A and B are shown apart, each in its own frame.
Chain A
């Protein structure tokens, strides 16, 4: 199969990727196949990020390219196919008191390209909201993110609230972001700390048994 589109996206050639998509759609290509190529490209981007070849500007840019491709493809899609998520379920959010989302968004992106079903519940999330979503979404992994030091305290409160709701044994909890480190992991009572998005994927894979 011709991988021109995959390469154009993965190498961040915006204009070329969009031109190819338009040509493919006009030529009657299956829109689902185009989206599959997009998915393949994201996996490559994820790998390059993991290897330290790509950084945040590159992830932001590929996200932007994808958004444009999606809006090109959307009118051609009749039914949305099964999303084929094979990994485990991860609930993620920035804890109460903190409105920073960059780290959380990168972790979400990396988990998704690694096949996880991720529910991102946003920023400044109170402990009780985490508890509600654990009940309804039933994740195996909960990711608590925060940049500010105030997040250390609310991470601890969130873990305590999960425990109080009787859900502590149902989930593994990982923490990360800003000044979070192993000391804060212990302080908050979480199960693991990761210094970056790559570590978050490794930890989540270990916990869910995904290869």
Chain B
């Protein structure tokens, strides 16, 4: 007995959408975020997956068909290397580009805004971004430091002479590099659409987890991209008012950027990977002052604009779950990494759809029996009353292929009639 791909596609999409709507699906849905595991499965390097997207897609299709999850994703989740390579990005390292061919993508945090520059940033974030931040993080765009203040255009024809600066070789090459990146994204968009069509033809819904935009908690944007973790922690003591004022600016332009991006595509899910708010980084008091109010306001703004925030609560949020109850019911999807998933269900199960949390450590080093038993426990506890999608704590990168099969099959077995 075989079910047609069309029918499978419809069933799987409905299963996931039911979970998003906090309803009880016919079975607990399971999604596989293969990511670099495809390299292991295909006997190629991680670099090859990035360099040869057709190969990566072939592997994704092959292994999605083998495991038969409700949805499957490859390495696209965190973006791809070419734009970074073209621009000489100092914030990322990719397999084969700054790293060995089999090392995974890594983000390199740095201090790209000095503490003394807060006032300048708060006064005019756009100008700071264009003429300070961009030349600092992209070697190919160093010429941007020489751009005239953009408000020179306010003088109309009288301000046009400033454009002459574009004749500088450093600016010419910077503009060329940006156009190259634009070309690359145009090709990539065509390819991505074709890949999505192919996945759906095989019965795997893609639209259920294509993000309309990705944004960051205001604190994280400062910590990850501008001040670095050390810098932002010192700012909490030395210039807390400026840190808060900058966050307010960041929240406003982040919302604006997300709305602009999504209005073109109509995609509603907004991915927000959360970093420094998890247990252990800062105290509850610091969290209440510097992290949560700004993140919550950001999410409420997005919800008001008709969008659905999809935060990834990275790390452990066990001591902070009560705060998540302040979010409006059914308006967000919470993806979790290493929190106590049973506690997550208990505390926020009626507030949001819960995704993830199956420990990859079990899928790397566990036994068949352990994997089955934990799957049973999770399906029973988290699947109750619906609103749950089985997924691993992080990407499957290093998982044991055999154990992944055990996990998918066990979810199908125990995820029915929970």
Interface residue B171 (Cβ < 8 Å from any Cβ of A):
no
Known contacts A55-B282, A149-B397: A184-B104 contact under CB 8 Å = no
Instruction: Choose from B103, B233, B282, B359 the contact partner of A183 (Cβ within 8 Å).
Output: B359
Cα A75 to Cα B310 with chains together (Å): 54
Interface residue B294 (Cβ < 8 Å from any Cβ of A):
no
Size category, B interface: 20 to 34
Interface residue A137 (Cβ < 8 Å from any Cβ of B):
no
Interface residue A179 (Cβ < 8 Å from any Cβ of B):
yes
Cβ-defined contact, A57 with B236, below 8 A = yes
Cα A71 to Cα B387 with chains together (Å): 56
Count A-side interface residues using an 8 Å CB cutoff.
31
Interface residue B184 (Cβ < 8 Å from any Cβ of A):
no
Cα A12 to Cα B240 with chains together (Å): 15
Per-position contact with B for A165-186: 1 when CB-CB < 8 Å, else 0?
0000000000000011111101
Cβ-defined contact, B361 with A184, below 8 A = yes
Cβ-defined contact, B360 with A61, below 8 A = no
Residues of chain B within 8 A of A148, CB atoms compared: 104, 106, 397
Per-position contact with A for B336-354: 1 when CB-CB < 8 Å, else 0?
0110000000000000000
Known contacts A97-B103, A149-B360, A181-B359: A64-B282 contact under CB 8 Å = no
Known contacts A55-B280, A148-B104, A149-B360: A179-B233 contact under CB 8 Å = no
Cα A40 to Cα B365 with chains together (Å): 42
Cβ-defined contact, B286 with A57, below 8 A = yes
Cβ-defined contact, A152 with B237, below 8 A = no
Interface residue B395 (Cβ < 8 Å from any Cβ of A):
yes
Instruction: Choose from B230, B337, B361 the contact partner of A187 (Cβ within 8 Å).
Output: B361
Cα A184 to Cα B394 with chains together (Å): 15
Per-position contact with A for B218-257: 1 when CB-CB < 8 Å, else 0?
0000000000011001101110000000000000000000
Majority secondary structure of chain A interface residues (helix, strand, loop or mixed): helix
Cβ-defined contact, A55 with B397, below 8 A = no
Cβ-defined contact, B397 with A184, below 8 A = no
Known contacts A149-B394, A149-B398: A184-B364 contact under CB 8 Å = yes
Interface residue B391 (Cβ < 8 Å from any Cβ of A):
no
Interface residue B362 (Cβ < 8 Å from any Cβ of A):
yes
Residues of chain A within 8 A of B359, CB atoms compared: 179, 181, 183
Cα A98 to Cα B362 with chains together (Å): 20
Interface residue B283 (Cβ < 8 Å from any Cβ of A):
yes
Cβ-defined contact, A149 with B364, below 8 A = yes
Per-position contact with A for B375-418: 1 when CB-CB < 8 Å, else 0?
00000000000000000011101100000000000000000000
Q: Which of B229, B282, B364, B395: most chain A CB closer than 10 A?
A: B364
Least distance between A200 CB and chain B CB atoms (Å) = 13
Cβ-defined contact, B364 with A152, below 8 A = yes
Interface residue B185 (Cβ < 8 Å from any Cβ of A):
no
Cα A53 to Cα B395 with chains together (Å): 33
Cβ-defined contact, A12 with B361, below 8 A = no
Instruction: Choose from A99, A102, A153, A186 the contact partner of B229 (Cβ within 8 Å).
Output: A102
Interface residue B366 (Cβ < 8 Å from any Cβ of A):
yes
Within 8 A of A (CB), among B247-305: 280-283, 286
Known contacts A60-B234, A150-B103: A179-B365 contact under CB 8 Å = no
5 closest A-B pairs by beta carbon, nearest first, are A187-B365, A57-B233, A183-B361, A60-B233, A149-B398
